[in-house]
Every structure is written in structure tokens, then in C-alpha cells.
Structure 1
Amino acid sequence: MNESVIKGNELKVALAQIAPVWLNKGKTIEKIKSCIIEAGKSNCELIVFGEALLPGYPFWVSITNGSEFDSTYQKKLFAHYANNSVQIENGDLDELCSLAKEYNIAVYSGIIERPKNRGGHSLYCSLVYIDATGSIKSVHRKLQPTYEERLVWSPGDGNGLQTHNLKKFTVGGLNCWENWMPLSRTALYGLGENLHIAVWPGSEYNTRDITRFIARESRSFVISVSGLMRKSDITSDIPGFERIIENAPKVMGNGGSCIAAPSGEWILEPVVDKEGLIIQTIDFDRVLEERQNFDPVGHYSRPDITKLSVNRERQAIVDFNDF
């Protein structure tokens, strides 16, 4: 097929399997911008980045006794992380939005968000969708941080359980182990999702099984995008560098980005230890083909017997009634 010709039922996607400039918001934004430009020049219509990529996953927690209460060391690292987190209200993503518009490309990216509507001090692992006009259409805060993540991330809410139209596709996404939560997946299925985005900090161990499972369960395309993180990505300007580098394994995130078809078969098997863009074209008609015999929220559902209730209200500690 001539890659320069994209049919109306097809979508050209870029999986950005990259490492952050770890815990550095400004430099990581520059790296993300370069990927968007490269994907845009390749006529991609969607680019996806891994979980927490901006400014990076908190790998230090598990290797520096992150559970030690009231630790000065952990406090300083958290403050550094917070200072490099994303405040959307302050325009931290404006440059990415401008590039999305310039290149007519949609963007899914994992960020660490420090939202003002929750006081502006707590951190959330969020998945942001920017459409091809450069507008932020949803910010999904991870519902349940996993294990040691709970020491730095706060639990999110259902507001970001949303889907978006992208050509013939309906696209939605979840962060990491949220993809194992059947009711969260069902919420997106019920919104018509047929292209599921799963973002991860970086591990083939996570993506190899669940990617194909979700595809087969939902009869949708599933794109899993993972980051990379190596000991060599830890820079000496990070607070507590010596302790982190002493305990860090050589590889903390090896990638594993992949794509499964609605049949559950691989379109792209997990890619390991390779940094850069991975570009593929997917065909919407394959969704319709697989929905012929199974549709989890359509003809193969029984809403008269089982039904899901979802609260999508954005949570806040105070409701102000101004007159």
C-alpha cells in the first residue's frame, strides 16, 4: 500500500516509545514536541505517548524506601516531582496543542497533573486527549494508583471516562492497571469505543497478555504504548541522585508497545528496548467484521439483567455557591 494515501476507513497511528528526560518537565516537553512533529510530517493522524511520560514515572519510590514516613529525602523528591508536574490551567500543554493543530494530529499523552481544582498540591496520573484542532477534550485521572504509586499519586475520578470521534473510530483510553478493571473498560465500551488506548510506564510483561485480551473481549483495536526507562536516563541534577543511582537496575522500563486487532491477533507484537516512533495503519472495517458475532454492549449484552452505573462528576472538596 502507498503509505502516502490514507483511506477514509483507515487511521495512521504513531506509537511514541520513548524515555522522558526524567523528572524534567521542560526538556521532556521538547522531546514530546519533536515526536509530534515527526509523526505529523509522516501524515500520522494519532500519536500516543506512555503513562506518566511527562515528566516521568516515580521509579525512585520502590528503590529508595519510599514508604518511610516523614522522610526528608522523600519529601524533597516529591517536591521536585511536583515542581515538574503539569498544570494545564497555566498553559503547560499549550505548545503541544499548537502542534496538534498545525499538523492536524490527535494526541494521547500520559502526564503527572497538579490540578488547581484539587488545591494545586496533590498529584494525579492523568491521560490527556488533544484533538486535531488543538483542543484538550478530556483529562482522565487514574482511578486507582497501584501499590507504591499510592505514595505519590492521588486517586482520580470518573470525569475522564470519555470517548472521542476520530475519523470512523471512537477512541478512549486508560492508564496502566486500570486496563485490568472490567467496569472501567465497560464504561468505555458503552460509549461506543472501538479503538482502545492503553498506556504504560514501560514493560512487555504488562502489555503482552492484556492487549490481546482487551481486543478480543471488546472486538476493538487496542494500542498499548509504553515508555522506556534506563539507569542511564537518571541525571545527576535530580535530588537524591546518589541513592537512586546506587539502587537502580540497569533497565526499569523496556517498552513493549504493541497493537492487537479486534480478533485478538497481533498487528504489531510488543517492541522491546527500541526508542522512537512506531507507525502503523489500522482499518476500521475489521471492527465491524468482528462485531458480527460478538458485541459486548450491543447484541451480546443484557441490560435488562446487568447494567453499569458511572459517576462522571469531577470531584472536588468544596462546592461554592456564589451569589
Structure 2
Amino acid sequence: MNAPDQLTVALAQIAPVWLNRQAGTEKIVQYIKRAAQQGAQLVCFGETILPGYPFWLDLTEGSRFNDEVQKDLHAYYVAQGVDIEAGDLAPICAVAKELHIAVMLGCLERPQDRTGYSVYCSCVYIDAEGLVQSVHRKLMPTYEERLTWAPGDGHGLRTHALQNFRIGGLNCWENWMPLSRAALYAQGEDVHIGIWPGNLRNTEDLTRFIAKEGRSFSIAVSGLMRRGDFPQDFPHLDLILQRCPEVLANGGSCIAGPDGRWIIEPVVDQECLLVATLDRNEVRRERQNFDVAGHYSRPDITRLIVNRERQALAKFED
């Protein structure tokens, strides 16, 4: 067992079982078990790995308004989304509790508090007791993602205690949003987890920058997606494959230390489980000369206000 100031983390760089929630859940459970066998206390998965990223948007002219093809594809996608309230994450929570391992998971959430028909790119933190502690809905879907994902809110901008560390996470390009990062830094974040659909171009620069800015451990965990990962029975597959490259997401998972140096350099083009042990004393050392939310902040001059209220159309008072 690790000392409280050490944390063993695992990065599951995998391809989804694309748009098959049940089979995708089973694959994720198997990787959680593998991570636990290697002594990990936290295992992380990429953006919307359950049930998969909407790769068709860029391949099928997703912006065509009121188009029958886009309606078919969107309906299929929503049906495979994750209803947390209905227990869709129960198998993952159960194995987390059984093996006493925390999980950071990217999923396509279809929450009942927003009708169950609008879907969100969500980062879910499940603690080592198998309890869902936060669901962070991506604040601003990026570019074509806005055609299928709804914009989220600040409710999930939270950090969580694990060993003697504070863990936080953001989805994909919101890792580029300075104020979103600051909201986590202000809560004492020691380990920043960026979850991505994949690709080295997203992770090789920003991961080290976040580590240096926050003087924290910075994790990027990415998915994979290859032409052969599309299921053969998917609607309009022939249309998707007309413009589909061989590789849509090549991974790029990595870990940088609080000094910005690589602990695990970016890994591409392979499914794998990457494991490393983090030492909190490295955070202490690097914050000697720069602590972004501590001695190097000036809240008397610049200060961030964060609205963490879960947004809804109506508030009912009976």
C-alpha cells in the first residue's frame, strides 16, 4: 500500500466499443480491474469514451439543417448515452467499490434534469467507495461538437480528496480556458486530469504547460479511434467511410510533473494501460517559488467568481 503522499495512477488509452453502451461498459470494467491489479488507486479514461465521440459530424456534413441523415445519427447517439440516475454507471461504480479504486471517466451524459434528450460531454468522478462525487458537463462544446452536445454549467467544477492529493479534471478544449483551470487551482488541485477524445496534437504542449502553470501533476488521457472501430451495423456507415481516414484519434496520453518534465511521454497508436506513482512532495518543492492560488495570487486585485448552481429550465416551489 502506498504512503498517503504517494498516488499510483493509471491511464487507460483505449478505443471505445463505439456507440454500444453495454459493451463499452464491460470493456471499461476490465481496464479498471487491470489497473487495480497493477496497484493503481485512480484510473482515468478519455473524453466520452462511453459510448464514444461523435466522429460522424466532420465526415457527413453535420451542419445540414433538418437533415434526415443527421437526425438518424443523432437519435442513435442519444439512445446510447449514459443516464446516471437510471444506474447506467452501476457496473463501473460496483467494481470501483469492490477494488477500492477511484475512476475519472468521460461519458456522453443524457441527464433527466435536462429532459433526457439533450446530451452533454461529461467528466465523472467516482470515488473508491463507488460513489459518483461529481459530474462536470463540458462548459463549451468545441466547433462541430455544438451540433450534438449541449453546453454545460459550473456545477462540476470541483476537486476531490484522494490520499493526500486534490484531484480535478476538465474535458478536452476547456483545458485551454484559463478561468476554468483557475477554478480548480483555487480548490488546491494537486493533480489535473485532462480527458481527450485523442490525438497527440492536443496533449503534447498543453499537458506540460498546465503542469508548469499549476505547479501540479498534469495528466492527459486520450482515446483511440480507427476506421475499423466503426461497427458494421451503424446507420449510414457507407456515408461515413467515404471520407474517413484510417486513424481519427491516435491517443497521446501522458503525464507531466509539477516542474513540467515528462513522467510518461505521450504514447500514440496503441491501446495500453500506463501506470505511474506520483509523489506529493514534488508539488511542495515546485510551489516554493510559484503557487498560483497561494502566495503568488492577488485576490485583492483580481478574483474569480464561479457559479456552481446546476442549471435547469424551471425551479418548482410546491
User: TM-score by structure 2 length?
Assistant: 0.99
Q: SS in structure 1 opposite 2:241? A: helix
Partner of 1:315: 311
Q: Does 1:171 align with 2:167?
A: yes
- Does the aligned pair in 2 maintain the 1:20–1:28 contact within 8 Å? yes
1:131 maps to a residue whose letter is D
Partner of 2:69: 73
- Does the aligned pair in 2 maintain the 1:41–1:103 contact within 8 Å? no
- Does the aligned pair in 2 maintain the 1:127–1:139 contact within 8 Å? yes
Partner of 1:234: 230
Distance 2:283 2:163 in 1: 14
Deviation at 1:6, TM superposition (A): 2.5
Partner of 1:118: 114
Partner of 2:286: 290
Partner of 1:103: 99
Distance 1:274 1:234 in 2: 17
Partner of 2:262: 266
Partner of 1:299: 295
Distance 2:195 2:109 in 1: 16
Deviation at 1:8, TM superposition (A): 2.6
Partner of 1:225: 221
Q: SS in structure 2 opposite 1:162? A: coil
Distance 1:237 1:317 in 2: 37
Deviation at 1:314, TM superposition (A): 0.1
Deviates more, 1:141-150 or 1:5-14: 5-14
Distance 1:101 1:26 in 2: 19
Query: CA offsets per residue over residues 198-247 of structure 1, 9 Å max, x none?
Result: 00000100000000000000000001000000001011111111111222
Partner of 1:11: 7
Deviation at 1:7, TM superposition (A): 2.8
1:300 maps to a residue whose letter is Y
Deviation at 1:256, TM superposition (A): 0.1
Distance 2:3 2:242 in 1: 51
Query: CA offsets per residue over residues 247-290 of structure 1, 9 Å max, x none?
Result: 21100000000000000111111000110211111111100000
- Matching residue within 142, 147, 152 for 2:143: 147
Q: Does 1:24 align with 2:16?
A: no
Deviation at 1:133, TM superposition (A): 0.3
Distance 1:240 1:285 in 2: 53
Q: Among the aligned pairs, what percent are the same residue?
A: 58
- For structure 2, the 5+ residue unaligned runs are none
Distance 2:154 2:283 in 1: 26
2:306 maps to a residue whose letter is V
Distance 1:34 1:92 in 2: 16
Distance 1:144 1:320 in 2: 27
Partner of 1:205: 201
1:260 maps to a residue whose letter is A
Q: Does 1:49 align with 2:49?
A: no
Distance 1:154 1:212 in 2: 29
Partner of 1:182: 178
Q: Does 1:36 align with 2:69?
A: no
Q: SS in structure 1 opposite 2:202? A: helix
- For structure 1, the 5+ residue unaligned runs are none
Q: SS in structure 1 opposite 2:295? A: coil
Distance 1:29 1:137 in 2: 19
Distance 1:103 1:55 in 2: 23
Distance 1:194 1:277 in 2: 22
2:109 maps to a residue whose letter is E
1:248 maps to a residue whose letter is C
Q: SS in structure 2 opposite 1:90? A: coil
Distance 1:163 1:8 in 2: 17
Distance 1:162 1:108 in 2: 13
Deviation at 1:41, TM superposition (A): 1.7
Distance 1:252 1:298 in 2: 41
How many residue pairs are counted as aligned between the two chains?
A: 318
1:178 maps to a residue whose letter is E
Distance 1:205 1:7 in 2: 35
